[in-house]
Structure 1
Amino acid sequence: MMINLFDDSAWQSLRPLSFTRPVADLRVGILTIAEKWKKYLNAEAGFLTIAYLAEKYPANNGAEWFINGSICPDRSLVDAICSLKIGESLKKGNLLIAYRTNTGELLTPDSIVQFDAKNYSESFIRIEFPEDIFKFNHIELTKDFELITHGRISANLGATNTFLGENFFAEEGAIAECSTFNSLAGPVYLGKNTEVWEGCHIRGSFALCHNSQVKMGARIYGQTTVGPYSKVAGEMNNVNIWGYSSKGHEGYLGNAVLGQWCNIGADSNNSNLKNNYSDVKVWEYAVRDFRNTKLQFCGLIMADHAKCGINTMFNTGTVVGVSANVFGPGFPPNFIPDFSWGGPHGFESYKLEKMFQTAARVYERRNSEFNQIEKDILIKVFNDTEAYRHF
């Protein structure tokens, strides 16, 4: 089966997280949305996304099914999509969920107005705003755990560990000693070649994706995902880290999302609850203003390549743009534009040449290549966000 995952208005409302990827490449739970669909459908997947991302995320020219990349799959939804005939679409109200074309007919959502629309009445999870990623992480992590581990047997861990509950799974190559794993409130998943160092206390739901590490003495309270090739330490609650990022020291992160290639300096913290317990507002690019999340708990939203220095203090609902570099004493603003360099004392533009030099070194440490495709995406984001950098 071949599919394409298309972007809709959620790509706009998910910025800055979506500046560097299609929505379906967001990680929610253990898997990205695209990985979920591929597993449910045993499919090859491509993307219909904004033009400057298309080289890195190409469309599948042999696709027959087109699925909204902001929607997370479940069994009922998969059945409804698979039952579509050629020339039919699936909708819930005005939201386009999926459509089916002749094989190889690369039709965009705007060009299927004549398709026979079928109504879907059941509920599902859609990722529309950045806070939805941590808001729905527990539900999606639990679903992914069942999808990945069904019918399989966990690898054994050392006898020095303590286990509460039986909703635990470790892939081959996972290592842990002298730590506690509590899966009574949600599953705990350790991916291939992961390490949990001594003295860690981890509550489910929790996923440590392949080749990642939890460093000594970490306290993780649940509803948390650590993506591949990442390192974490300190105190975390309801955090989603997509991959290739580090929070390697003490400090608190709560109700937060970190993109790829991010780094959190030692003893940095975010607030996730306002002193007056009121709703948290976050910056939204689409309206160029702060939007009420209607959430009482909302911490840090940090896009790809962003970094902060030691002892950085992020206020409730702070949004940090792509490739921003934050440092210095005091609270920085609640919106830090993409490619900003500075802190509470003031900001300037982070020059592309300097940013590229740093990125090349970061990629090299992970045995990856910072190639021209990556550079072109960042150049486009830099140019498109210039209006926000009025320092």
Structure 2
Amino acid sequence: MAIVLFDTERRSGLYPLTYTRAVADMRTGICTIQDRWRYLLNEEVYVETALYLQALYTKVPAGIHTFIDAQVMPSDDLINSIKNLQQGEVLEDEAGVVACKAAGESLRQAMDNGAMIFTAVDKVQRLQYAHQMIQWNKHFIEYDFKLLTQNKTSQSLSSTNHIIHPENVFAEEGANVEYAIINAKDGPVYIGKNAVIMEGCMIRGALALCEKAILKMGTKIYGATTIGTHCVAGGEIKNSIVQSFSNKGHDGYLGDSVVGQWCNLGAGSSNSNVKNTAGDILLWNDYAQTYVNAGNKCGVIMGDYSRVAINTAINTGSVYGVCCNVLGEGLLPKTLSNFSWGTTGGKYDLQKAYTHINQWKKMKGQIATDVEKAVLQHIFEAF
């Protein structure tokens, strides 16, 4: 028996981040959604997603499983209801299936395997749009901090550091922190296994610095910020989420933004996160082909494998697709489609894209797989 996090058509509302991955693979707070459910339910977690992405994930084994909508955000009541599910029972709200327990390798197969007993639950909270990840990040850093640190003892940090509210700071094994100022009064600071905080960094929580991530010298962090595994961060960052293996290693501002995996922001690049009018920001939604109100603070939503040239000026409420080579003069356009080369309608050659992605991966000891290339080809041709 295991957990299966399933995607629905609603996953498209999270484009461009979900062009290249399942919803369960996205990081909010400290954890990915998949890891969070693993910690909460103490079960192996599998992923059911769009057909062209499924080969990225381990095949769901035959058996009786608990299926959970990957976009559903956990709460104590919902977790208890899921734990108490019996085979053949379904929890649903007005938007559809929340969770069910049944035999099958997919949600459809499970729902077709005999009569099901449906129970209505109050409408649950679902992650619908990428900008919600920014808005909810403080909540999930706090939530994950309690989840990951309960009954554990933090590694001791060097006396060279100045730490305010040390009870809200947790360092995993191998964390290396010297001559930093850490203020955890307004939110916890989590320092992952073998993460590095170099000299002169100034941090205000909430912060999730994940495994093997690095903050370079003099970095300024404002909460609520997540720096994913194997990322390098520098300059000034505020209320942003950087997924795994990405770099913002130099001076420049990143605020109220979500950056995908294997991205790079060149030295001096900055984004605007507030309009000059201080009015609401309308963020382009590629799936709905319309604008969505993202509130009065939103920077950039950037798909995986995109790279930004040095000294680039990113407009308020920008959305950049998968594998964009972002360069151009002045304040850049607010939208760039997948595989854009520059801002004048140029298209990234797919074979060159493979080569460049592989070169970036080699810098972090990895290589592009045939499955990843097949996913990129599908996106290149279909979207």
Shorter chain as denominator, the TM-score bin is over 0.9
- Once the 2 structures are TM-superposed, how far is the Cα of residue 72 of structure 1 from its aligned partner? 2.6
- Once the 2 structures are TM-superposed, how far is the Cα of residue 59 of structure 1 from its aligned partner? 4.0
Change (3 A) 1:124 1:159: farther
| Equivalent of residue 371 in structure 1, options 351, 354, 369 | 369
Report the Cα distance in structure 1 between the residues aligned to 2:352 and 2:287, rounded to whole angstroms: 28
**1:242 alignment partner in structure 2:** 243
Report the Cα distance in structure 2 between the residues aligned to 1:340 and 1:360, rounded to whole angstroms: 18
**1:39 alignment partner in structure 2:** 39
Contact 2:160 2:178 in 1 (8 A): yes
**1:91-115 CA distances to partner (integer Å, 9 max, x unpaired)?**
222332101103x454428946953
Contact 1:10 1:129 in 2 (8 A): no
User: For residue 47 of structure 1, what is the amino acid of its counterpart?
Assistant: V
Once the two structures are overlaid, the 10-residue window that deviates more, 362-371 or 350-359, is 362-371
**2:17 alignment partner in structure 1:** 17
Contact 1:36 1:73 in 2 (8 A): no
**2:305 alignment partner in structure 1:** 305
**1:350 alignment partner in structure 2:** 348
Aligned counterparts, 1:147-296, within 5 A: 147-165=147-165, 166-293=167-294, 295-296=295-296
Unaligned 5+ runs, structure 1? 386-391
**1:149-185 CA distances to partner (integer Å, 9 max, x unpaired)?**
0011100111110111120000111011111111111
Report the Cα distance in structure 2 between the residues aligned to 1:298 and 1:347, rounded to whole angstroms: 25
Report the Cα distance in structure 1 between the residues aligned to 2:115 and 2:364, rounded to whole angstroms: 48
SS in 1 for 2:144: helix
User: For residue 372 of structure 1, what is the amino acid of its counterpart?
Assistant: D
SS in 2 for 1:79: helix
How many residues align? The count is 380
**1:7 alignment partner in structure 2:** 7
Unaligned 5+ runs, structure 2? none
**1:388 alignment partner in structure 2:** none
- Tell me the TM-score normalized by structure 1: 0.94
User: For residue 360 of structure 1, what is the amino acid of its counterpart?
Assistant: N
Change (3 A) 1:109 1:25: farther
- Once the 2 structures are TM-superposed, how far is the Cα of residue 26 of structure 1 from its aligned partner? 0.7
Change (3 A) 1:105 1:210: closer
Contact 1:4 1:63 in 2 (8 A): no
Report the Cα distance in structure 1 between the residues aligned to 2:336 and 2:258, rounded to whole angstroms: 15
Once the two structures are overlaid, the 10-residue window that deviates more, 3-12 or 229-238, is 3-12
**1:9-64 CA distances to partner (integer Å, 9 max, x unpaired)?**
33110111000111111100000001001111111111111100111124422351
- Once the 2 structures are TM-superposed, how far is the Cα of residue 124 of structure 1 from its aligned partner? 5.1
- Is 1:89–2:87 an aligned residue pair? no
Aligned counterparts, 1:101-140, within 5 A: 101-102=102-103, 104=104, 106-108=106-108, 111=111, 115-121=116-122, 125-140=125-140
**1:319-370 CA distances to partner (integer Å, 9 max, x unpaired)?**
0000001112212211100100013xx2300001111111111111111121
- Once the 2 structures are TM-superposed, how far is the Cα of residue 201 of structure 1 from its aligned partner? 0.6
Report the Cα distance in structure 1 between the residues aligned to 2:160 and 2:260, rounded to whole angstroms: 33
| Identity fraction in percent | 38
User: For residue 7 of structure 2, what is the amino acid of its counterpart?
Assistant: D
- Tell me the TM-score normalized by structure 2: 0.96
Q: CA RMSD of the aligned region, Å?
A: 1.6
Report the Cα distance in structure 2 between the residues aligned to 1:238 and 1:105, rounded to whole angstroms: 38
